[in-house]
Amino acid sequence: MTVLAATADTDARARRNVWVLVAAQAVLGAQMPIIFTIAGLAGLQLAPSPCLATLPITASVLGSMVAANPMSALMQARGRRAGFFAGALAGAAGGAVGAAGLYYGAFGLFVLGAFLTGFYMSAQGFYRFAAADTASEAYRPKAISLVMAGGLASAIVGPQLVKLTADAMAVVFLGSYLTVIALNVAGSALFLLLDIPTPPPPAEGAPKGRSRRELLADPTIRVAMICAMVSYALMNLVMTSTPLAVVGCGFEKAHAADIVSAHVLAMFAPSFFTGHLIARFGARIIVALGLAILAAAGAVALSGVELANFFGALILLGIGWNFGFIGATAMLTAAQRPEEKGRVQGINDFVVFAGVTFASLSSGALMSCSGADVVHGWDAVNLAMLPFLALAGASLIWLWLRPAPPGAS
């Protein structure tokens, strides 16, 4: 078989895997807009204090952080399919436990369900890496972008399901959590179509790559992780409080769902061209642009609490996340060696979700306990972005001022 034919065969398999992952992103991924739209509102009903309203969202992110390294190890040992099935099972279990918490009015049970949902979130984060597993070097960037863009469908489906199910049963939001169970059960069947070989065990004497300490000492890897963490954490910080702010300012739950939908669309729509921008201008430029757009989102949010402000701020927040997070991922993958990718991916997602956990927990406290009313709380959430944007910006400038290693973007 010629090299050209082998590449064609590889990409035929890769294209099939990509479309399976796109479908999974659309079906199973729809649960995340559902969770992020209603978990804070449901938490406000169940929590003993308004300061704990967003604790369920924090628990989900904490679950993602805890699961990152074990999920990476499971996929390395048993393959992507096993890891994705485990994630869907955890998502269904999280929906069931969350539904029980709502039914019995038990806040602790509801938070436990949210924690289990985080294991699904962790598995979904590996869709983008799975897209690259069977792709040729030429097709790999497109494969990753297409899978990320699959989030567009979930951005539309998830909030519409909230509108249909939030008040469909006597217990508010119970129908939405039962829908989460159904999405996981139905969507998991898609993974039967995946054709990604289980990685073979490393041969004796094969390069093992750098240790975790050595990886974290690499300037590019360190800055990439900081920028990815800040981009994701600030997106979560603001998005977590948005439904509380929208409803607290006198608007309807349907408005909150529409705003979250616009936000998630903005998160994934740029994926069709983000890779091309990175190829043309370099990852660092795109990360810097993402940080600037996140700052603009905060400025729009601070300028008023009309629906237009919420929509504008959350759309900019989504675009800023896309450029910052995907750009940082490109920086990270350019700095890793093939034998290190499993280790790097696990460390990166652990660091990112550690930051997101802190942001999510802070979001509820800032929103509900830092001001005299909803508007002051919302302002506090958006002002909290500033020091973290300064940290990421300073780290990026520091990296820029260092001599770039050969091949760095």
Average pLDDT, the chain: 87
Coil vs helix vs strand at 372:
coil
**Mean pLDDT confidence for 341-362:** 81
Burial class (CB in 10 A: 0-12, 13-18, 19+), 96: middle
pLDDT of residue 205: 64
DSSP state for residue 210 in the 8-state scheme: -
Q: Is the per-residue pLDDT at 220 higher than 70? A: yes
Per the model's pLDDT, the better-predicted residue between 92 and 212 turns out to be 92
pLDDT of residue 49: 85
Q: Is the per-residue pLDDT at 74 higher than 80? A: yes
Q: Is the per-residue pLDDT at 117 higher than 90? A: yes
Q: How far apart are CA 167 and CA 50, in angstroms?
A: 22
**Dihedral sign, CA of 272, 275, 280, 284?**
positive
Q: Residue 354's pLDDT band (boundaries 50, 70, 90)?
A: confident
Half-sphere exposure of 78 (CA within 13 A, CB side): 11
Q: Is the per-residue pLDDT at 67 higher than 70? A: yes
Burial class (CB in 10 A: 0-12, 13-18, 19+), 170: exposed
Q: How far apart are CA 31 and CA 161, in angstroms?
A: 9
For Cα atoms 360, 114, 57, give the angle at the middle one, nearest 5 degrees.
15
Q: Residue 204's pLDDT band (boundaries 50, 70, 90)?
A: low
Q: Is the per-residue pLDDT at 12 higher than 70? A: yes
pLDDT of residue 6: 45
Q: Which residue has the tokens 């930051």?
A: 355
Alpha helix stretches (DSSP H) within 28-173: 31-46, 55-78, 80-104, 107-125, 127-133, 140-149, 151-165
The pLDDT tens digits for 81-111 are: 999 999 999 999 999 999 999 999 999 999 9
Q: Is the per-residue pLDDT at 140 higher than 80? A: no
Domains of the chain, earliest start first: 7-194 (1.20.1250.20), 209-409 (1.20.1250.20)
Mention every residue, 6+ apart, whose C-beta is less than 8 A from residue 146.
Answer: 18, 22, 131, 271
Which of 33-37, 134-138, 305-309 has the lowest average pLDDT?
A: 134-138
pLDDT of residue 203: 65
Q: Residue 2's pLDDT band (boundaries 50, 70, 90)?
A: very low
Q: Is the per-residue pLDDT at 213 higher than 50? A: yes
Q: Are 57 and 87 in contact (CB under 8 A)?
A: no
Q: Residue 5's pLDDT band (boundaries 50, 70, 90)?
A: very low
Per the model's pLDDT, the better-predicted residue between 150 and 31 turns out to be 31
Q: Which has the closest alpha carbon to 283: 324, 341, 319? A: 324
Q: How far apart are CA 180 and CA 117, in angstroms?
A: 10
Q: How far apart are CA 317 and CA 313, in angstroms?
A: 6
DSSP state for residue 197 in the 8-state scheme: P
Q: Is the per-residue pLDDT at 409 higher than 60? A: no
Most confident of 104-108, 238-242, 359-363: 104-108
pLDDT of residue 3: 40
Q: How far apart are CA 388 and CA 377, in angstroms?
A: 18
Q: Is the per-residue pLDDT at 206 higher than 70? A: no
pLDDT of residue 217: 80
Q: Residue 329's pLDDT band (boundaries 50, 70, 90)?
A: confident
Q: Which residue has the tokens 């900019």?
A: 316
